[in-house]
Structure 1
């Protein structure tokens, strides 16, 4: 990591994208002081974080790791979600009630008596998320939250992420899935070689060919379809829903469509 200038604001979803080794996970691990910078400064809610007050960062910034097994430590799901609260001295009855509320928030109440390591990948992610939410952080950080999940589990985790954002919690996540990034991001940050080389809304970033080429990324399918078919890209669709809306409008006016091929009189 070098020369990184990165901020997270209230009530936003920030998505980090970039190739393998770009520094996404390393940057995320600084946000809750899993790592502390050798040079520069980490400030969380107005407090400069050092080795002596890392607990403040970890209270304010909850981290869900890519490998959910690394943060599942208790014999049952309910015990696991209670674990952080009990470390902070919360009485058992209160911790149990808050843990059940957190599991309900991520639609995982039915898992409370299960053994964590026997859960599916998607279920483990939800339990890890509940274990973070129970501490009532102002920011939730997720490293590759959809990695290794099938489409159904991916949709479930994505829905829960959107749900906690709607409840007023800022979300920062990394992903290789630009379709997912286009769906959830308020702001996209592109990383290359340990630095953020560009950022903006999905409609700004995913239509910036130079920036994507620098990061060795391909735009979401909606962007590629617009260009391949020759649609008017003024609206800059980035999601499937955006594209459907554009196509519906294009059907009403031939002026919105630019032919990709033109018939020649002589062949």
Structure 2
């Protein structure tokens, strides 16, 4: 299954990866054709070892294909211009500690600007604006490594936003976070998308993917095996089975309750709306959906 969302637009990022093999001989990806377009949120889903992190790390030239090409903002990326990819495509790693390097949060956000030759009051203004964008201005004097997991994720996000990228990439942005911190990070993702930045993220949380993504790409065995809107992907049982995934809770509850799923609810809000239209006991079904799990 594939949905063409290009509509003759030029992609911000275009990756053609015939193969990527790790030094130990493990094949990370093969025959991948992946693009990111303006004004979209793309979620990568798939089981462990499917290749999600490998694909993400190719988008800003952290990894490069053995065979293939990466084009960012119309520029083919080579060994000589990887900095272009890393400025245009901001990467927030799952382990935020890997990108927190300075003694204070403000210094950490300034680090990227200083690498590109910007210093002084203008750099500090942009760093503080980036922290304010992710609701982390109050952290600027804190020591990064003493922050909570969610706070570190927000500071890492500020550190890429300060470079004014066209695309932000997040590897498992909710991993290890409690529900409140997960909500805060999810809200910030929606906010930066509303400000015109495209977002690519990987996640095991299909409820989260259904909530935030315009497009879902399913990975299995190092390849993108399906691509479409959440309603297209999450109702494709054959595709989900191939990737060892279960549908989001809203779909499972709707089916278990014998509801007409012609409207294809994929989120809790969709399910509640469907139940409200039927005059069904939505509070009971909502509670059941909240207790569900993505099962992957």
Q: Does 1:25 align with 2:65?
A: no
| TM-aligned CA deviation for residue 91 of structure 1 | 2.1
2:211 to 183, 190, 206: 183
Name the residue aligned to 1:242. 270
Name the residue aligned to 1:255. none
Name the residue aligned to 1:162. 190
Q: Does 1:7 align with 2:15?
A: no
Equivalences for residues 184-203 of structure 1 within 5 A: 184-203=212-231
Contact 1:36–1:50 (CA under 8 A) maintained in structure 2: no
1:61 to 75, 79, 89: 89
Q: Please give the alpha-carbon distance, in whole angstroms, between the structure 2 residues aligned to 1:5 and 1:116.
A: 37
Name the residue aligned to 1:115. 143
User: Where in structure 1 are there 5+ consecutive unaligned residues?
Assistant: 253-267
Q: Please give the alpha-carbon distance, in whole angstroms, between the structure 2 residues aligned to 1:21 and 1:141.
A: 19
Equivalences for residues 70-109 of structure 1 within 5 A: 70-109=98-137
Q: Please give the alpha-carbon distance, in whole angstroms, between the structure 2 residues aligned to 1:127 and 1:224.
A: 36
Q: Please give the alpha-carbon distance, in whole angstroms, between the structure 2 residues aligned to 1:56 and 1:108.
A: 27
CA offsets per residue over residues 148-206 of structure 1, 9 Å max, x none? 00000000000000000000000000000000000000000000010000010000000
CA offsets per residue over residues 206-253 of structure 1, 9 Å max, x none? 00000000000011000001111111111100000000000001128x
Contact 1:36–1:51 (CA under 8 A) maintained in structure 2: no
User: Where in structure 2 are there 5+ consecutive unaligned residues?
Assistant: 1-28, 281-296
Higher strand share: 2
Contact 1:122–1:153 (CA under 8 A) maintained in structure 2: yes
Larger relative contact order (Cα-Cα within 8 Å, sequence gap ≥ 6): 1
Structure 1 counterpart SS, 2:175: coil
1:136 to 146, 155, 164: 164
Q: Please give the alpha-carbon distance, in whole angstroms, between the structure 1 residues aligned to 2:248 and 2:93.
A: 25
Q: Please give the alpha-carbon distance, in whole angstroms, between the structure 2 residues aligned to 1:55 and 1:92.
A: 22
1:233 to 261, 264, 269: 261
Q: Please give the alpha-carbon distance, in whole angstroms, between the structure 1 residues aligned to 2:233 and 2:279.
A: 27
Q: Please give the alpha-carbon distance, in whole angstroms, between the structure 1 residues aligned to 2:32 and 2:108.
A: 34
Question: TM-score by structure 2 length?
Answer: 0.84
Across the aligned residues of Structure 1 and Structure 2, the Cα RMSD in angstroms comes to: 0.7
| TM-aligned CA deviation for residue 92 of structure 1 | 2.1
Contact 1:86–1:92 (CA under 8 A) maintained in structure 2: no
Misfit runs of 4+, over 4 Å: none
Q: Please give the alpha-carbon distance, in whole angstroms, between the structure 2 residues aligned to 1:124 and 1:97.
A: 20
